[in-house]
């Protein structure tokens, strides 16, 4: 259920976000197509850095998309448009975020709904695809809720599950409605 759509939702979008709206929309559509879930990506940037291009986390994640140095270097090597590793460059960071989300989305189970595939992609963005895949192997069934319930049963310690399970919920349920006017939602 989408709540807060309209002028209230627009008011909840940080002022800093408006400067990046056109670039994020254009980048998302180039990478994902015209129906790119722009509202998801905006909510993700909101979650990652609060739209602060110079943000650095306590563990060293950098820029709008909060890439760790190894991921930043890796993602720069898989997309010709991301030749240089530039996590503090807003255009680079937004391109890297949508490219990485697509790469993760394509590795989520195809039978899942688009929203569940994005849920998986977001969990993988936050905690690593390998962790999600190992938990999927341990789950009692292959549906997304069962894999979520298996969080912490493989390589990841259970203490990390609160953050990893909250991450897609915050983006898809709490924040995405604020950005619904930016483009398609999931």
Residue 2 resides in a domain:
no
Residue 176, C-beta contacts closer than 8 angstroms, at least 6 positions apart: 2, 39, 40, 42, 43, 185, 186
Domain enclosing residue 144, as ranges = 7-182
Residue 70 resides in a domain:
yes
pLDDT for position 2: 35
Report the number of distinct structural domains present in the chain. 1
Residue 46 resides in a domain:
yes
Q: Which CATH number goes with the domain that contains 95?
A: 1.10.530.10
Please write the tens of the pLDDT for every residue from 49-78. Answer: 999 999 999 999 999 999 999 999 999 999
Alpha carbon distance 61, 59 (integer Å):
6
Q: Provide the whole-model pTM.
A: 0.91
Residue 1 resides in a domain:
no
Residue 175 resides in a domain:
yes
Please write the tens of the pLDDT for every residue from 114-151. Answer: 999 999 999 999 999 999 999 999 999 999 999 999 99
């Amino acid at each position: 259920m989408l709540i807060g759509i309209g002028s209230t939702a627009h008011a909840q979008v940080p002022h800093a976000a408006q400067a990046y709206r056109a670039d994020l929309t254009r980048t998302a559509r180039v990478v994902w197509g015209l129906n790119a879930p722009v509202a998801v990506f905006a909510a993700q940037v909101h979650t990652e850095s609060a739209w602060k291009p110079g943000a650095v986390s306590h563990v060293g994640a950098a820029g709008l998309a909060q890439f760790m140095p190894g991921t930043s270097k890796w993602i720069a090597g898989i997309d010709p448009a991301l030749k240089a590793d530039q996590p503090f460059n807003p255009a680079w960071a937004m391109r890297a975020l949508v490219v990485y989300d697509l790469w993760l989305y394509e590795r989520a189970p195809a039978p899942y709904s688009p929203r569940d595939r994005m849920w998986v992609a977001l969990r993988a963005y936050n905690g690593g695809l390998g962790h999600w895949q190992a938990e999927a192997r341990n789950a009692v069934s292959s549906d997304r809720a069962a894999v979520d319930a298996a969080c912490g049963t493989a390589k990841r310690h259970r203490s990390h599950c609160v953050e990893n399970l909250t991450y897609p919920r915050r983006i898809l349920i709490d924040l995405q409605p604020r950005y619904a006017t930016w483009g398609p939602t999931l």
